[in-house]
Amino acid sequence: MENNTKKNALKFGVYVFIILAVLTAGEYAVAVFGGAWWSVLVIIALIKAWFVVQHYMHLPRLFAEEGSHEH
């Protein structure tokens, strides 16, 4: 059972990594070819920050009830 949970967590981590890589490529493309589209860059950066905080920094676990196993 625990092995399946770890496998799912790893799979989700890989998905998040891929999403961040795609957003970074999009950010680069907007910066190079988009000219003065700084607002799009800010939005992409905020989306990336949300993914990092939610998955890699484990901050939601700080606010979960004790004994809870939320992700």
Distance CA(69)–CA(62), nearest Å, equals 11
Q: pLDDT, tens digit, for every residue of 8-66? A: 878 888 899 999 999 999 999 998 988 778 898 999 999 999 998 888 776 666 666 76
pLDDT of residue 1: 57
Task: Count the neighbouring beta carbons within 10 Å of the beta carbon of residue 62.
Answer: 7
| pTM greater than 0.85 (yes/no) | no
pLDDT of residue 42: 92
Structure tokens at 37: 């589209």
Place 70 in a pLDDT band, splitting at 50, 70 and 90.
low
pLDDT of residue 68: 55
